[in-house]
């Protein structure tokens, strides 16, 4: 096939339908995650034992930190798979999948082996009372059994998203969280297993999801395109994957650290303000769930366009995902500004906390708008596998965030804290956006 024939074969059109076919299913899938947390809390809360509920909260937080740190497994797999898809390289798609699975299972087994140390460190950090620590121990010891399956699900989800299979991603998310919810209610409430029942529900859900996902992926593979062991464990390919994962991991740690700093500073304003901030952070997290779906669309389209060396698809994908991202962000922000007081009342019964939360509500409501570009740019840079730039610009944004905190918190108190967080979101988006055109020019010029 000549150069022109190959080019025509790789060309693809980016439409609103393509963007939404990826974004909508994943947005729906992601919104089942907070529902899962609410069910677990409700199940244990109905036991009437505050120690058990506190133990569940600590255990869930520890897993959010542990497993959230490994989100690079999904992100890197999406970018590399999308680029292989753009090249129509089904052989390399399988190679990316198996390298991701080996990495995920290896990391999961390491977590499993280190679980006693990780639990001890977590309890030492949180310093709970004996009864609370016992509940945390029960939850953690059961749920950690699913660590290999949970990380394998990251790799599987990254692979199906890289192929643009948003419907499959939605099915797997609903399957995992649906089994988790049903078993949490049945085991935790009906059989009265409490915290242990919630943990077993999560363990079974993650395991079933991994088995189902593996079945769906392997069924789509052609035996003739199967890579050999030497190709899967190629030093060059593994080095590329590890470098990508390292950069995304550093970026994730910095992001987690920024929220930890916000919480730590918030404690200095007293219990009422701290509780109000915790309530308002739910608005930011919900905005993030919606924007993540469009970020996933940006990942897939960007990676596919670079793999195909087709600049028009890259530019068109960037334009359409930006339109939908900012449109959705504006809608969500307007909703929170209007319905915020009602939502705050639904989340807390304390008059003092309600009043404080309504005071700072506008700052939380606009986080969707100030963060829209950051979510979109994360998707573009992950899909393009420009991980070094993403890491470095995150560090620059974090430095700007610390400077904003140093200036605005002493001047404006908690208003300054929320102003700094919104500034951090803006820094992340604009610092990355400044690099898009020069990096795209360089990448597509090299591909010619």
Q: Is residue 47 part of a domain?
A: yes
Residues 256 and 223 in one domain: no
Whether pTM exceeds 0.85: yes
Query: Are 128 and 105 found together in one domain?
Result: yes
Q: At residue 227, what are phi and psi to the nearest 5 degrees?
A: -80, 155
6 inside domain: no
The three-class DSSP label of residue 20 is helix
**Is 219 within a domain?**
yes
Q: Evaluate whether residue 8 is within a structural domain.
A: no
Among the three residues 176, 201, 233, which one is the final residue of a domain in this structure?
A: 233
Contact 176, 154 (CB under 8 A): no
413 has a pLDDT exceeding 50: yes
The Cα–Cα gap between 136 and 130 comes to 10
Q: With H, G, I as helix, E, B as strand and everything else as coil, classify residue 245.
A: helix
**pLDDT interval class at 350 (50, 70, 90):** confident
Q: For tokens 């309890």, what's the residue? A: 123
Can you give the pLDDT at residue 373? 96
Residues 253 and 218 in one domain: no
* Cα distance between residue 85 and residue 148, in whole Å: 27
* Higher per-residue pLDDT: 261 or 213: 213
Tokens of 33: 């995650």
Asked if residue 133 and residue 113 are part of one domain, the reply reads yes
Mean pLDDT of all residues belonging to the chain? 89
Domain identity same for 36 and 174: yes
On whether both 180 and 301 belong to a single domain, the answer is no
DSSP 293-360: HHHHHHHHHHHHHHHHT-HHHHHHHHHHHHHHHHHHHHHHHHHHHHHHHHHHHHH---HHHHHHHHHH
d(CA 299, CA 185): 36
Range of weakest confidence among 152-166, 227-241, 420-434: 227-241
pLDDT digit string, tens, across residues 22-80: 999 988 877 776 666 666 666 766 666 667 777 777 777 788 788 888 888 999 999 99
CA-CA distance, 410 to 401, in Å (whole number)?
14
252 shares a domain with 218? no
Domain identity same for 221 and 84: yes
* Domain closes at, from 200, 233, 266: 233
- Would residue 94 count as lying in a domain? yes
Please indicate, yes or no, whether residues 60 and 34 belong to a single structural domain of this protein: yes
| Number of folded domains that form the chain | 2
Together in a domain, 338 and 226: no
Q: Which of 233, 252, 267 is the last residue of a domain?
A: 233
Task: Please report the pLDDT score of residue 353 as a whole number.
Answer: 83
pLDDT band at residue 285, thresholds of 50, 70 and 90?
confident
Decide if 239 is inside a domain: no
Give the range of the structural domain holding residue 65, as residue numbers without chain letter.
Answer: 13-233
DSSP class of residue 163? T
Over residues 352-400, the pLDDT tens digits come to 888 998 999 999 999 999 999 999 999 999 999 999 999 999 999 999 9
Higher-confidence residue of 67 and 435: namely 435
CA atoms within 13 A on the CB side of 260: 10
Does 211 fall in a domain?
yes
**Structural domain contains residue 4:** no
The length of the chain in residues reads 448
Please determine, for residue 1, whether its predicted confidence score (pLDDT) is greater than 50: no
Question: Are both 130 and 200 inside the same structural domain?
Answer: yes
Q: Are residues 256 and 325 in the same domain?
A: yes
Give exposure, 417-445, as e/b (b: 16+ Cβ within 10 Å).
bbbbbbbbbbbbbebbbebbeebbeebbe
Q: What is the per-residue pLDDT across 288-299, written as a single tens digit (0 to 9) for each?
A: 888 998 999 999
């Amino acid at each position: 096939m000549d150069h022109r024939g190959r080019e025509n074969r790789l060309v693809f059109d980016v439409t609103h339908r393509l963007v939404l076919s990826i974004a909508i299913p994943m947005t729906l899938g992601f919104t089942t995650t907070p529902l899962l947390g609410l069910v677990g809390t409700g199940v244990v809360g109905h036991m009437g034992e505050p120690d058990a509920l506190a133990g569940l909260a600590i255990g869930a937080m520890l897993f959010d930190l542990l497993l959230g740190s490994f989100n690079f497994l999904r992100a890197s797999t999406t970018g590399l798979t999308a680029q292989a898809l753009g090249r129509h390289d089904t052989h390399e798609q399988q190679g990316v999948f198996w390298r991701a699975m080996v990495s995920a299972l290896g990391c999961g087994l390491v977590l499993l082996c280190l679980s006693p140390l990780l639990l001890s460190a977590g309890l030492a950090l949180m310093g709970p009372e004996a009864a609370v620590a016992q509940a945390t121990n029960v939850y953690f010891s059961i749920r950690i059994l699913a660590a290999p399956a949970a990380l394998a699900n990251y790799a599987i989800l990254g692979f199906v998203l890289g192929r643009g299979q948003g419907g499959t991603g939605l099915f797997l998310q609903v399957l995992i969280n649906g089994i988790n919810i049903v078993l949490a209610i049945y085991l935790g409430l009906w059989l009265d297993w409490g915290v242990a029942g919630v943990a077993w529900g999560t363990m079974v859900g993650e395991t079933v999801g991994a088995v189902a996902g593996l079945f769906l992926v392997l069924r789509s593979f052609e035996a003739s395109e199967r890579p050999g062991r030497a190709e899967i464990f190629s030093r060059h390919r593994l080095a590329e994957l590890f470098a990508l994962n390292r950069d995304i991991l550093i970026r994730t740690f910095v992001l987690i650290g920024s929220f930890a700093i916000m919480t730590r500073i918030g404690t200095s304003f007293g219990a009422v303000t701290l509780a109000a901030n915790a309530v308002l952070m739910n608005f930011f997290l919900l905005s993030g769930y919606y924007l993540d779906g469009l970020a996933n669309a940006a990942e897939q389209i960007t990676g596919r366009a670079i793999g195909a060396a087709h600049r028009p698809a890259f530019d068109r994908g960037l334009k359409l995902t930006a339109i939908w991202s900012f449109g959705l962000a504006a809608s969500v922000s307007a909703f929170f500004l209007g319905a915020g007081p009602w939502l705050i009342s639904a989340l807390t019964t304390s008059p003092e906390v309600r009043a404080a939360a309504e005071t700072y509500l506008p700052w939380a409501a606009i986080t969707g708008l100030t963060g829209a570009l950051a979510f979109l740019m994360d998707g573009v840079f992950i899909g393009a596998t420009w991980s070094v730039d993403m890491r470095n610009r995150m560090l620059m944004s974090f430095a700007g965030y610390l400077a904003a905190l140093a200036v605005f918190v002493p001047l404006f108190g908690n208003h300054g804290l929320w102003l700094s967080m919104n500034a951090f979101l803006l820094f992340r988006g604009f610092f990355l956006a400044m690099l898009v055109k020069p990096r795209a020019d360089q990448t597509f010029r090299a591909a010619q």
